[in-house]
Amino acid sequence: MNVASSAAAAFHSTFGTGPAGLWAAPGRVNLIGEHTDYNDGFVLPFALPQQVVAATAVSDEPGWTVCSDFADEPVTFASPAPGDVEGWAAYAAGVVWALQEAGFTVPPARIALASDVPVGAGVSSSAALESAVLTALADLGGLDLPVAKRPALAQRAENVYVGAPTGIMDQSASIRCEAGKALFLDCRSLEVEQIPFDLAAEGLAILVINSNTPHQHVDGEYGARRRSCEEAARILGVAALRDVGADDLDAALAKLDDEVMRRRVRHIVTENQRVLDTVALLRSGRIREIGPLMTASHASMRDDFEITVDRVDVAVEAALAAGAYGARMTGGGFGGCVLALIDADRAEATTAAVEQAYAERSFTPPTTWSATPGPGARRL
């Protein structure tokens, strides 16, 4: 059964009637631009075909009930406030809360969720859930909420209701991506440009390699990186590290005493430039040439930002040794997925090379698939 059918079936079995409609929102991978979003910088994600589907109907009773194919019991809440709903349902309750806090009248609703976005793989299963629920409620309630304003509300659900200090990339990707395109997002102005990313036309593929690494201490490390960047911006007298250009890097580093902080700053400044360089290459159709930028991004995350782990480094090295044009970890770090830019006919060979490298080290085998840029949140 596909995800849409699962969501509809879950709605029927839980609520005894049919939904008013099905709303879908995808997970994402980020082609390049990691940890730049909360530094007001640049990112370049694209939407995965994997998605969360919210089968939804307005309810004649007050409050909201959500059920899902990944939990046994439905969860009901009325007037949600941060801290009162936990676990997977917090992402849905957080969206209702954020909409209400922004002054919207949210229709009471029943929601059945189904998902094929891998959880814990760094491909934004939580942002997909938030975005699907938000899109459904905005449509059903006839809310006057332009698409460009939606990611910030879903992010607020995540930051304040769920309590994860993330940036705006994931919700922007899930809501604003388009099929066949990568989303070039300026995280300060929130302006977007849809960059054509037709891998198949060039005989290329992006192989996603899930390292299947258990996440450990992820939230604490993420918050620590964020604080370090904000402290560096304060010392440098800029609003955000976005304001340090690649040409200003040496002068900026000379003003910082702390060696760790210097490395964090170097990652952000060089990573922003790599996003701009990647976009310039893609605009002129030179997809293969982004490979070295991807690999340089990985090295920067490994050595300067220190957010990679052995299993992702091994996957990157094995993919490169198997002939990938470039490879890098995607997402927040400390595990998750690696992207490898490869010739489309090298998917099996590259997968085999990574599997072998993992087997030699007795790592849990990786999971791989070829990703094509899918559409953003929408009614099905």
By CB under 6 A, tell whether 332 contacts ligand GLA.
yes
Which sign, positive or negative, has the C-alpha torsion 125, 25, 51, 208?
negative
Tell me how far apart the terminal alpha carbons of the chain are, to the nearest angstrom. 16
Is position 376 an interface residue for ligand GLA (rule: CB under 6 A)? no
Encode 30-63 in three state secondary structure.
ECCCCCCHHHCCEECEEEEEEEEEEEEEECCCCC
Closest approach, Cβ 202 to ligand GLA, in A, equals 26
Taking the least distance from each CB to ligand GLA, the nearer of 57 and 173 is: 173
Query: In angstroms, rounded to a whole number, what is the distance separating the alpha carbons of residues 178 and 197?
Result: 10
CB of 86 to ligand GLA, least distance (A): 19
Kindly tell me which residue out of 137, 169, 208, 290 binds ligand GLA, with binding defined by CB under 6 A. Answer: 169
- Residue 17 DSSP class: S
Minimum CB separation of residue 244 from ligand GLA in Å reads: 18
Q: DSSP secondary structure string, 169-185? A: HHHHHHHH--TTEEEEE
Stretch that binds ligand GLA, among 95-103, 141-149, 164-172, 362-370 (CB under 6 A): 164-172
Q: State the angle between helix axes of 259-283 and 218-236 in degrees (0 to 180), rounded to the nearest 10.
A: 90
- Sequence-separated (6 or more) residues with CB below 8 Å from residue 287: 197, 199, 202, 204, 281, 341
Name which position in 11, 24, 31, 34 contacts ligand GLA (CB under 6 A).
34
167 contacts ligand GLA (rule: CB under 6 A): yes
Q: Which stretch binds ligand GLA (CB under 6 A): 31-39, 47-55, 230-238, 364-372?
A: 31-39
Which residues does 298 contact at the CB level (< 8 Å), separation at least 6? 308, 313, 316, 327, 328, 329
| Min separation Cβ 340 and ligand GLA, Å | 18
- CB nearer to ligand GLA: give 40 or 178: 40
Q: At what angle do helices 347-360 and 310-321 cross, to 10 degrees?
A: 140
Radius of gyration of the chain (CA): 21
Q: Does 37 sit near ligand GLA (CB under 6 A)?
A: yes
Distance in Å, CB of 164 to ligand GLA, minimum: 7
Q: Does 41 bind ligand GLA (CB under 6 A)?
A: no
Q: Note whether 291 binds ligand GLA by CB under 6 A.
A: no
DSSP string, 59-88: -SSSSEEEEETT-SS-EEESS--TTSS-TT
**Annotation says 170 is catalytic:** yes
Residue 334 or 363 having the CB closest to ligand GLA: 334
27 is an interface residue for ligand GLA by CB under 6 A:
no
Contacts of residue 10, Cβ cutoff 8 Å, sequence gap at least 6: 55, 67, 68, 69, 112, 113, 114
Q: How far apart are CA 254 and CA 251, in angstroms?
A: 5
Regarding 45 and contact with ligand GLA (CB under 6 A), the answer is no
Per CB under 6 A, 331 contacts ligand GLA = yes
Based on the shown chain and the rule CB under 6 A, indicate whether residue 131 belongs to the binding site for ligand GLA.
Answer: no
Which listed residue (116, 170, 219, 345) is catalytic?
170
Between 11 and 161, CB nearer to ligand GLA: 161
- Binding-residue total with ligand GLA (CB under 6 A): 11
- Give the closest residue to 133 by CA, choosing from 163, 159, 171: 171
170 part of the interface to ligand GLA, by CB under 6 A: yes
Residues 51/115, Cβ–Cβ less than 8 Å: yes
For position 40 contacting ligand GLA by CB under 6 A, the verdict is: no
Give residues in contact with ligand GLA (CB under 6 A): 30, 34-35, 37-38, 166-167, 169-170, 331-332
Positions annotated as catalytic residues are: 170
